[in-house]
Structure 1
Amino acid sequence: MGKYMFHATYTGEGLVGLLKEGGSRRRAALTDTIEAMGGNVEGLYYAFGETDLYIICDLPDDATATAVSLNIAKAGALNMRATVLLTPETVDEAVKKQVPYRPPGA
């Protein structure tokens, strides 16, 4: 399972739905979607600022995360983007790998 953070911004149409249904019902709908794809929601938060909604969740793989993001965005209520989250242990593995890279001018 991979861990992802979805960043969502409501469209005008999405705000109408949010105002009609409320935050808790929208959380339930989004949680149902992620669980139906084999994942689970760790947290869902509304926010002030550039991003209206953050969802932190586990999903089986990148393809599933992409499918969730694309299909939610396709519905037209939310603009979505995703961030893959890494554990400290994954970073530990990464820093041990030898990468044959030569910077420009070296």
Structure 2
Amino acid sequence: MTKYLFEANYVGEGITGLMREGGTKRREAVVEALRSAGGSLECFYYAFGDTDALGVFEIPDEADALALSLMINSTGAVKLRLKPLMSPEDLDEAAKKTPSYRPPGQ
């Protein structure tokens, strides 16, 4: 399972729907959407400022995360952004690798 941080902003009718349904109903909708893609919700919070809602979920793989993101964003009611989360052990594994790279101008 892969973990993702999600950040969402409600847009247009999405704001109206949120106000009508309330926060817990929208969280339930997220849980159901994740379940349909084989995932689960770790945490969910509302905020104000640049981000309306954020949290962490687990999902089997990148294709499932992308499918969910495409479906949600296609509604036009929510703008969803996903960031993959990596553990310290993941970083340790990456640090052991030595890819080749030439900086610009060298």
TM-score by length of 2: 0.94
Aligned position for 1:10: 10
In structure 2, distance between residues paired with 1:37 and 1:55:
17
Q: Which runs of 5+ in 2 are unaligned?
A: none
Once the two structures are TM-superposed, the CA of residue 102 in structure 1 deviates from its matched residue by 2.3
% identity of equivalent residues: 48
Q: 2:82 aligned with 1:88, yes or no?
A: no
What number of residue pairs does the alignment pair up? Answer: 106
Query: For residues 15-72 of structure 1, what are the alpha-carbon distances to aligned partners after superposition, in whole Å with 9 as ceiling and x for unaligned?
Result: 1001100000100011111011100100011111111111310001111001101101
Question: Hey, which bits of structure 1, 4+ residues long, moved more than 4 A?
Answer: none
Q: 2:48 aligned with 1:48, yes or no?
A: yes
Q: Which runs of 5+ in 1 are unaligned?
A: none
CA RMSD of superposed structures (Å)? 1.0
In structure 2, distance between residues paired with 1:104 and 1:14:
44
Code of the aligned partner of 1:17: G
Code of the aligned partner of 1:35: R
Matches within 5 A, 1:14-53: 14-53=14-53
